[in-house]
Amino acid sequence: MVGPLLLTTLLTTPAQAEVVRRALLVGANDGGLDLPTLRYTQNDVERMSTVLIELGGFEPEDVIVLQGADRATLEVELEGLPHVDEDDLFLFYYSGHADARGLRLGDEIYPFDELKEHFTRIDADVKLGILDACRSGQITQSKGALVVDPFLQQDLDASGEAWITASSGDELAQESRSLEGSFFTHHLVAGLRGAADNGDGIVSLGEAYSYAYTQTVERTSAAGVTQHPEYDFRLAGKGDLGLTTLSTATSRVTLSEGYGGEIAIFRDGLLVAEVNKPVAQEMTLALQPGTYVLRRRDGDSVREVRVGLEDGAHRHVGTRWGEAKQEITASKGLEPFNFVETSTKVVETTTEAARDFEFRDNPTVALGFGTLIPGAGQFYNQQYGRGAAYLLSGWALTGTGLATGGWTGDGSAFVGSPTGPNVAGMAGFAVWGAAASQAYYQRKYGADVPDRPIEGVTIGLEANWYDEFNRPHTAGVTVDYVVTPHLTIGLDRTGVARSPVDDGWVFSTGGRVTLAPEWERLRPSIFLAMGPRFGTQYADQAPVRITAGGGAQVRYYWTPRYYMTLETRGEWDGGQARWVNGAGFGWHLGGG
């Protein structure tokens, strides 16, 4: 028996330092010449490895992955393990072929009795074996083990040996094209991510097995070949062994009360998990950052909601779901996903307008808050540090612009022009726009923000300054049409700026041609511009004249649609030459 401190650690917080968790995960597609080659054991191993590292307290260096290993390699790994000590937890996972004798590793067989003998010699206090293979239940029947009711009735101690198998001793274990993995591992991982949790935030061995058993039996029976997972737990005492802890998750989704049934979770068109949610209770799932589509059947219709998860986010999905539109195809072979029959790649065509409004998790609300107050959208998204940075910098720059302006002597961020502020004011508005745009994209897409467009039209506000940084030399609206990814033509800054001559005004417009490479976020360019200018900025200028110039500009795309601009150009203005520097911000509309 282990001491009270170790027992408490094992049963409650798997990531604490007192107990080291180590794993050996094996995937084998090839089971020999007489068996069909499997396709998804590598996916099974990767999903199991990911959930153990994310939620199970396993350090990446303590998880050994073997893909396509032969018997000798597997034996060396099992017999070596010098880093496994007493008071550790050791987990062995296998996805591949097996028969009544043992694991099929190519043309070799690793007998179950020898596997258990090697397993027993490992000096770990707790040893857990998980076999996702045909007839893998044979291992639970060796050496007199008795397999009883699949739901746990006995208490567990944190010392001993336990086995879970995907099938009984005379059954086939199945994998699925739509899951791109096996039935059993798919549902076991979903359970470890929170579907099996009873509400305490810790998924135990018993909870994970019970959930995987129920879901596997249900899905495979619908496919016509029922598969019954089995177990052999030789752990005596009280309590249950905690396997994953949801509080350590990178990001989470909570499905609220008020709806239930089968909910399918997709990412990039691929099925990530299916869960059976009770109507009367919440369910929290730990997921990696990304953009997910959740679908559930509601009577004769299918409802869906899109959720964007950034690192550290915890989203709540309420009762308002939009109607889903799908491409329906005939399924082939054994398919576990009977919720809807779809092709492997699910076509996601739900539009923003088709989804019901959800105040707690809505990108439009984040954009609205960010538009009203810089940083408010980030506070809505629970990004408090970033929100504070936007708030302070946006207000500081805008306030400086107001304090240093001199349009009419009383100060104005729009000094000298209704379309162009001074330098500080321009920077403040640029930061304000960046805060609102970032809040929208973070809420909508999480970590899976789409690429920025390289087609379409851009609309911006730009100004440049010559000798007075509290007064724009020229300022106005710009429009650029992307002819090719490297060539744009459009409207140079067009607007009114105040002249220092007798409080006069200058209207400037023109066209420009830009050449630019397209990088991930940066768009450096060179350009030529020409157009008329009306009004005098200097006493010796003609009131109507032609201006021409050229220079370099760089845009930084803060989000896929919002950019900031810095520019320098040489300009010939009605016979006078000067060098001016400019800045601005804008939006990229249309395009892909």
pLDDT of residue 494: 93
Please say if the pLDDT value at position 277 is more than 70.
Answer: yes
Please say if the pLDDT value at position 50 is more than 70.
Answer: yes
Q: Is 475 left (phi over 0), alpha (psi -120 to 50) or beta?
A: beta
Mean of pLDDT values over 331-346: 32
Top-ranked range on mean pLDDT: pick from 287-301, 317-331, 342-356, 387-401: 387-401
pLDDT of residue 523: 93
For residue 48, what is the enclosing H or E element?
helix 41-55
Nearest to 420 by CA among 478, 476, 466: 476
Q: How far is CA 117 from the centre of its chain?
A: 42
Tokens of residue 205, six digits: 């061995």
- At 123, is the pLDDT very low, low, confident or very high (cuts 50, 70, 90)? confident
- At 360, is the pLDDT very low, low, confident or very high (cuts 50, 70, 90)? low
Mean of pLDDT values over 517-539: 89
Tokens of residue 156, six digits: 């567990």
More confident residue, 279 or 137: 279
pLDDT of residue 175: 65
Q: Which amino acid is located at 79 in the chain?
A: E
* Percent over 90 (pLDDT), the chain: 21
Mean of pLDDT values over 41-62: 88
Mean of pLDDT values over 62-90: 77
Domains located in the chain, CATH noted: 4-247 (3.40.50.1460), 250-357 (2.60.40.10), 367-589 (2.40.160.20)
- At 336, is the pLDDT very low, low, confident or very high (cuts 50, 70, 90)? very low
More confident residue, 141 or 377: 377
More confident residue, 238 or 21: 21
What is the residue-averaged pLDDT of the chain? 76
Tokens of residue 524, six digits: 């450096």
Please say if the pLDDT value at position 454 is more than 80.
Answer: yes
Give the E-state strand segments of 301-340 in sequence order: 301-309, 314-317, 322-323
Condensed to tens digits (0 to 9), the pLDDT of residues 138-172 reads: 444 332 233 333 322 233 334 577 888 877 545 55
Q: How many residues comprise the chain? A: 592
Condensed to tens digits (0 to 9), the pLDDT of residues 483-492 reads: 988 999 999 9
More confident residue, 555 or 133: 555
Please say if the pLDDT value at position 183 is more than 90.
Answer: no
- At 68, is the pLDDT very low, low, confident or very high (cuts 50, 70, 90)? confident
The two counts, helices (H) then strands (E), for the chain are: 11, 29
More confident residue, 123 or 526: 526
pLDDT of residue 448: 65
Tell me the three state secondary structure of residue 154. Answer: coil
Mean of pLDDT values over 42-69: 88
By DSSP bridging, strand 511-515 and strand 505-508 are: unpaired
By DSSP bridging, strand 89-98 and strand 126-132 are: parallel
More confident residue, 406 or 4: 406
Contacts of 319 (CB under 8 A, 6+ apart): 256, 258, 259
Mean of pLDDT values over 542-568: 93
Please say if the pLDDT value at position 47 is more than 80.
Answer: yes
Least confident segment among 26-40, 48-62, 166-180:
166-180
More confident residue, 65 or 171: 65
Condensed to tens digits (0 to 9), the pLDDT of residues 578-589 reads: 899 999 999 998
* Percent over 70 (pLDDT), the chain: 76
For residue 366, what is the enclosing H or E element?
helix 363-372
Mean of pLDDT values over 58-81: 84
Top-ranked range on mean pLDDT: pick from 82-96, 143-157, 559-573: 559-573
Alpha-carbon distance of 150 to 36, in angstroms, equals 30
Mean of pLDDT values over 174-200: 81
Top-ranked range on mean pLDDT: pick from 28-37, 87-96, 454-463, 500-509: 454-463
Q: What are φ and ψ of residue 438, in 5° steps?
A: -65, -35
Please say if the pLDDT value at position 376 is more than 90.
Answer: yes
Least confident segment among 301-310, 382-391, 421-430, 469-478:
301-310
Alpha-carbon distance of 436 to 67, in angstroms, equals 46
Least confident segment among 84-93, 242-251, 355-364:
355-364
Contacts of 117 (CB under 8 A, 6+ apart): none
